[in-house]
Each structure stands twice: as C-alpha cells, then as structure tokens.
C-alpha cells in the first residue's frame, strides 16, 4: 500500500530544487559516479553500520553491508553506507554504557543531516542495539534493525563454552588453582570461535530479541547465528524491505506502541533476560512516548522462564535456540500472553509470523508447564537501601539467597574492592553481604558491569561459588549469582548506598521485593548530614556533559535533553 509519491521523498529536498544549492548536491553525487537514474525518484537508504576493526561481534558487517545494499538496489532504492561508533563491549573503557547515548545522538543526527528516506541499522553488540534504536526512534523516519546474530558455540576440552558465563565460572576454578595457565590459554582460544555477538542469553541476545518483539526487525531475524547463510539472506531482505517501508511511510512511531513494549517485556522475562534490558527498554519506551517504569517490569514479571539458555539455563546456547525454532517459537509458547496485533517492520502483525512458528526441541524452548524457572526472571526490589529501586535476577542465583540476612562488607570503589578482595585476612564469611558503591551512572562513571563482584579468594578456595552482592553498578547479561544491581539513587549522588557501613545488617527478601539495611532512621539521618559529595569525575569534554545530563538507572540512563518531552521538536534541516 503506497502512501508516498516520489515527489514526497525526503531526499527530494536535497536533489529536487532547481537552485544553486541543489546543483551542488547533484554535481557531488555525480562526482561519486552516480547518474540521475540512480537517485531520481528512488528512496535513498542510509545503512548505519557499526563495523570497525576493533568490534569482533560485528566483524562480518563489512561483508553484510554489501548484502543489504544488494537488497536495496533490487527493490529500487539507492543505498548509502554511513559508519557509526562501533562500541565494542570488549575493548571500550571504562564501559560502553558511557557511550550508548553518544551512539544514539550520532544515529539521530546522521539521519537528520543527510539526504536519506529510510535506514537499516546494523548492530548487535550490547549497547549498539539500544543506541541505534534510540536515535532512530527520535528521528522517526522508516527504519529497520538488522541484528548481528550470535556467534557459534564455544568449545574447550570437549566442553561447550558460553560467552561470559563460562569465563566467570572457569576463572573461579583458575583462582582456586584447579585450572593451569596452559589450560586457561585454551579456554581463551575456544570461547569465541566466530564473528557474531555473545551467544549466551546476555545483553546482546536479549536486546536483539527485544528489538524483534518490538517490531523493529524482520520476524525471525534475531536468532540467526552470524555465521549462518540465512544471515546473509536476512541482510538482503532488510535491504529490500526498507525500500517498501519508505513508500508505505511506515515509521517507528507506527510500531512502538504500549502493547509492543508489554510484548517485549513478557518475551524478555521468558528468555531469562539480561538485567540490562530494564535500563535500555525504559529508555527506548520513553523516547517512543511510552511512560514505562520499573513497576511495569514487576507488573509483567509473572512469566515463566522458558528459554533454557545459559546463564539462567544450564545447558544450551543461542545456536541451540535457533535450531529449536528461535524467538518466534518462544513467542508461540507465549501466544496467550502477547498482543499479536502489534505491528512490525514487515508490514503486518506480530501474530502473522508467530502463528506459523514451530518448536523443534522442547528442552531448549520449554513448555509453559515445564519452565526452567517458574516466574520472574528479573525482580525489582525497593527498600531503604534503594528507594528508587534495584534489580536481581532470581533465575540465575542460588535459591537459598532469595531470603537472606547478613553483615555488610563495604568497598567504596571498584579499585578498593579489587585491592582487598583476595586478602587472606579479609573478614568475610559465606553469609557476608558484599557491597560496592560509587559505580553507578555518575560514579562509575557510566555504570560499568562490575556488579558481579568476585567471591573472595579464601571463600572460593573453600568451595563457595555464590553470595549476596549489592552495588549501584550493572552486570553483564552473561553473569550470574545473587547480585543486586542498579541501586538507585546511586551512592555518588548521595543515595542511601552511600550511608551503609561495614557491619550493618542487610536484609534481602525477594518474595517481598525488599532490600533494607537494619539501621535506625535517626542514625541514617546523622550519616546523611556528615556525607560529602565526591569530586566530579570530569572537568571537561564528553564526560563532563555526560555528568550534567545522565538520568539514574531507574529512569533508563538517557540524557535529559534527548528525551522526547525535552523542548520543542527539532525541525528538519533548513533548505539553504
Ligand atoms: Fe559483543 Fe558480548 S562482547 S555482545
């Protein structure tokens, strides 16, 4: 169904007018070898590519972009590749989260400032999915997200290795002296065997699946392994489809409804999703004008975990998930809970794809009455330690910690924790509650994934593999354990986490959704009065701007000035 005529294309504003400025645009595109037949009356498609030489999860994008271009050309469009920040989770310090909003700004402004009618967004490594989508939502021209796809299963000494999760697991064995240096090198060589993003149900797999359930990817796209030939075909299909989306004028605002976000949360819960999903989904929703809060995750938390994928599951990885039917098969299990009328970039309803899905392995994608965890992959807790909320992943922690009381052992920073954690004289028992503060959005800075604090070495050697840990940091979606994260407000801005002291008794009750320190209110008031704010992390540059404008975790860590309600809408570039 065509809604747009060629004369209404946005790019026409650059190339159409009979004036000197447009002469410049036309002569310069001809300088690149294009003839008027290449652009005249054709949708111009931006391909926002997060490939770089230091982004292993996106290494194949250098080739896939050619497949996207092939699809665009087949459908009668003109593809233009626009490189964007690659945000490689493995290499960017202190954390990619410091730069998620920078990618969002870059995406929005790339699309705004160039003569493009639609966009294919190529991402997958953790922050690239929300970064690209945030920008595209705010720009609101037709856009489709092409997920990088998970890498192949890891392999070492006959064992299957999962990204992150098995790194943590075997590192504890190495610290305990059970794995030699030579064996460890083999683990390093075997855990990441191909291009593609992490293949556990970490943040990357979670966010690409959320993008698909939201309707921003072609149905079935997010589960295809990066190295599978189906991924090549999916890339070309995205190229073909975006051209039609331009003619249909199908924009993110037509797709991202409250029902779409409810669907995404339900699906994420059933996947045993990354805790990071909460922060990113809140930010995405608010850009789309949907007032999502932590309470919505609680409202929709009564969903069983059906995807038997590490770290919530104990056996399978994303490659197995794909062979079992992938995300569409999982959504099939959830048919009764989802709004299948929600739209997608394919042009129809989510239900069109879900109804025909098949489940090929009921151990990987469990039936509703045989879940790997009965309900609540994520739980939102509140209390006097985190009045604005914090998050735990009960499906990935030792059940005996879901109700726990123990004395706090407090570290003021990551550096202090790292220096002291393996001290043989550390005053710690398996019941101790480890607390690390000043690791939030401002304090980290950028809220690094430090929340899975290491178990103290002397406890590791005694066989302890889990204990209660609390911080205002995030943790990798591939991490596991009784880790309470995202405590808000963070300590750096004076949240109550700044007031807790070593020896205070901490009480955790996941069923009651509570996290408290047993300290009298009058004593907390005294401590608050003597608290002094730390020195700012930055005096100039991007970090300074970040500190001025970053929201707390419970509000999605967006910049205030990027939120949709901030100021008047930005105009299209003037024709000058
Ligand atoms: Fe890129 Fe994990 S490092 S997704």
* Beta carbon of 449 within 6 Å of any ligand 1 atom: no
Chain segment 90-111, per-residue pLDDT in tens: 999 999 999 999 999 999 999 9
Do residues 469 and 482 lie in contact, with contact meaning Cβ atoms separated by under 8 Å? Answer: yes
One-character DSSP codes across 194-225: SSSB--SSSHHHHHHHHHHHHT-S-TTGGGS-
pLDDT of residue 27: 97
Given a contact cutoff of 8 angstroms between Cβ atoms, the answer to whether 552 and 440 are in contact is yes
Residue 57 CB–ligand 1 contact under 6 Å: yes
pLDDT tens-digit map of 118-161: 999 999 999 999 999 999 999 999 999 999 999 999 999 999 99
Q: Give the chain's largest Cα–Cα span.
A: 79
Pocket test residue of 95, 199, 204 for ligand 1, highest count of atoms within 8 A of CB? 204
Cβ atoms of 119 and 49 within 8 Å: the answer is: no
**95 CA → ligand 1 middle, Å:** 12
Rounded CA separation 274/283 (Å): 15
**Which residue has tokens 């910049």?**
559
Residue 520: other Cβ atoms inside 10 A: 8
Residue 469 has pLDDT above 60, yes or no: yes
What is the per-residue pLDDT across 184-216, written as a single tens digit (0 to 9) for each?
A: 999 999 999 999 999 999 999 999 999 999 999
- What the chain holds in terms of domains, given with CATH numbers, is 6-152+194-355 (no CATH), 155-190 (no CATH), 379-530 (3.50.30.80)
Pair type for strands 118-123 and 143-147:
parallel
413-417's contacts with Cβ under 8 Å and 24+ in sequence apart are 413/437, 413/438, 413/439, 414/439, 414/448, 414/450, 414/473, 417/453
pLDDT digits (tens, 9 = 90+) for 307-341: 999 988 888 999 999 999 999 999 999 999 999 99
State the pLDDT confidence band at 3, using cuts at 50, 70 and 90. Answer: confident
Please tell me the predicted confidence (pLDDT) of residue 168: 85
**Residue 193 C-alpha to ligand 1 middle, in angstroms?**
13
Note the pLDDT tens digit of each residue in 5-26: 999 999 999 999 999 999 999 9
pLDDT band at 576 (very low <50, low <70, confident <90, very high): low
Q: Is the pLDDT of residue 1 over 80?
A: no
Give me the mean pLDDT over the 339-362 stretch.
97
Average pLDDT over residues 498-506: 98
**Distance in Å, CA 231 to ligand 1 centroid:** 18
Q: What is the pTM of this model?
A: 0.96
57-62: average pLDDT? 98
CA–CA separation, 514 vs 154, rounded Å?
38
Q: Provide the pairing of β-strand 379-383 with 386-392.
A: antiparallel
């Amino acid at each position: 169904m065509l809604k747009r005529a060629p004369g209404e294309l946005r790019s026409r504003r650059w190339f159409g007018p009979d004036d000197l400025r447009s002469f410049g645009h036309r002569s310069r595109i001809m300088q690149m070898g294009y003839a008027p037949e290449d652009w005249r009356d054709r949708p111009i498609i931006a391909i926002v590519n997060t490939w770089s030489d230091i982004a292993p999860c996106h290494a194949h994008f250098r080739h896939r972009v050619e497949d996207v271009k092939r699809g665009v050309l087949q459908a009668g469009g003109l593809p233009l590749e626009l490189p964007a920040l690659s945000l490689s989770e493995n290499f960017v310090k202190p954390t990619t989260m410091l730069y998620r909003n920078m990618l969002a700004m870059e995406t929005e402004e790339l699309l705004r400032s160039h003569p493009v009618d639609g966009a294919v967004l190529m991402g997958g490594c953790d922050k690239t999915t929300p970064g690209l989508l945030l920008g595209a939502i705010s720009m609101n021209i037709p856009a489709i997200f092409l997920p990088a796809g998970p890498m192949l299963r890891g392999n070492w000494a006959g064992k299957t290795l999962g990204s992150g999760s098995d790194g943590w697991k075997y590192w504890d064995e190495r610290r305990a002296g059970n794995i030699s240096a030579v064996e460890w090198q083999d683990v390093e060589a075997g855990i990441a065997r191909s291009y593609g993003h992490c293949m556990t149900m970490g943040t990357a797999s979670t966010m690409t699946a959320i993008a698909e359930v939201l309707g921003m990817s072609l149905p079935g796209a997010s589960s295809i392994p990066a190295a599978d030939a189906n991924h090549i075909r999916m890339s070309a299909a995205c190229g073909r489809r975006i051209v039609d989306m331009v003619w249909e004028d199908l924009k993110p605002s037509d797709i991202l409804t409250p029902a779409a976000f409810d669907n995404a949360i339900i699906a994420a819960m059933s996947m045993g999703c990354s805790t990071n999903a909460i922060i990113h989904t809140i930010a995405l929703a608010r850009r789309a004008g949907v007032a999502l809060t932590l309470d919505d995750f609680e409202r929709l938390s009564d969903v069983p975990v059906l995807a038997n994928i590490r770290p919530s599951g104990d056996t399978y990885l994303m490659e197995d998930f794909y062979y079992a039917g992938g995300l569409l098969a999982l959504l099939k299990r959830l048919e009764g809970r989802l709004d299948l009328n929600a739209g997608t970039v394919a042009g129809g309803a989510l239900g069109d794809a879900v109804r025909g899905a098949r489940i090929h392995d009921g151990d990987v994608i469990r039936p509703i009455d045989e879940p790997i965890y009965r309900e609540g992959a994520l739980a939102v807790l509140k209390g006097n330690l985190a009045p604005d909320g914090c998050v735990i992943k009960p499906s990935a922690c030792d059940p005996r910690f879901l109700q726990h009381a123990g004395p706090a052992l407090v570290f003021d920073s990551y550096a202090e924790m790292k220096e002291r954690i393996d001290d043989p004289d550390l005053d710690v028992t398996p019941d101790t509650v480890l607390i690390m503060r000043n690791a939030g959005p401002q304090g980290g800075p950028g809220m690094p994934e430090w929340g899975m604090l290491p178990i103290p070495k002397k406890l590791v050697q005694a066989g302890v593999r889990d204990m209660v840990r609390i911080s205002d940091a995030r943790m990798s979606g591939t991490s596991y354990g009784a880790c309470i994260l995202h405590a808000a407000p963070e300590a750096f801005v004076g949240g109550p986490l700044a007031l807790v002291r070593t020896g205070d008794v901490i009480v955790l009750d996941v069923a009651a959704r509570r996290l408290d320190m047993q300290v009298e209110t009058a004593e907390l008031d005294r401590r608050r009065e003597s608290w002094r704010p730390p020195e700012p992390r930055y005096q100039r540059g991007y970090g300074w701007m970040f500190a001025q404008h970053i929201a707390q975790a419970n509000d999605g860590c967006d910049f205030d000035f990027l939120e949709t309600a901030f100021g008047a809408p930005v105009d299209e570039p003037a024709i000058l």
